[in-house]
């Protein structure tokens, strides 16, 4: 999440309101706040009815989503600044928010991964989010 100072304050307020953070907002730095926000999002998403066992459908491999969206694999690896060679033993790092944004854009949905996270954090469901932006 890229945030300006006003967005940071707004998100801290949201986190405090929805009890996503264990401390007072003034005790957290932005990095801790983002981490806790994301952790809370994943917990609530995991509790979403659409994610239950009975609603599970076959899932496409991540590689397929990467290819379909045009996500640049060059962004997944770190390269030596001078030689341009791939740094040894690097595991790919995929920015899932960016990938999700590309998926939304490809399906002509006017929303972002941040919108989804905020909707879920505020108590919405995955289905209500998809219905809203569809």
Rounded CA-CA distance 21/19 in Å is 5
Burial degree of 58 (CB within 10 A; 0-12, 13-18, 19+): exposed
pLDDT at position 87 over 60: yes
- Output the pLDDT for position 5: 42
Helix (H) or strand (E) holding 132: helix 126-133
pLDDT tens by residue, 106-129? 999 999 999 999 999 989 999 999
Helix (H) or strand (E) holding 69: helix 62-69
Give the residue, 109 or 80, on which the prediction is more confident.
109
Give the residue, 122 or 12, on which the prediction is more confident.
122
- Output the pLDDT for position 53: 73
- Global confidence as pTM: 0.68
Q: Which residues pair with 86 in a beta bridge?
A: 79
Comparing 10-14, 47-51, 116-120, the range with the smallest average pLDDT is 10-14
């Amino acid at each position: 999440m890229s945030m300006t100072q006003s967005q940071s304050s707004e998100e801290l307020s949201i986190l405090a309101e929805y009890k996503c953070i264990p401390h007072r907002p003034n005790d957290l730095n932005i990095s801790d706040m983002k981490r806790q926000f994301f952790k809370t999002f994943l917990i609530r998403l995991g509790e979403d009815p659409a994610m239950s066992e009975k609603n599970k459908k076959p899932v496409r491999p991540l590689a397929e989503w990467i290819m379909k969206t045009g996500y640049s694999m060059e962004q997944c690896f770190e390269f030596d600044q001078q030689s341009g060679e791939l740094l040894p033993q690097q595991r790919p790092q995929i920015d899932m928010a960016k990938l999700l944004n590309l998926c939304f854009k490809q399906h002509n949905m006017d929303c972002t991964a941040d919108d989804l996270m905020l909707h879920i954090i505020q108590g919405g469901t995955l289905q209500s989010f998809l219905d809203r932006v569809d």
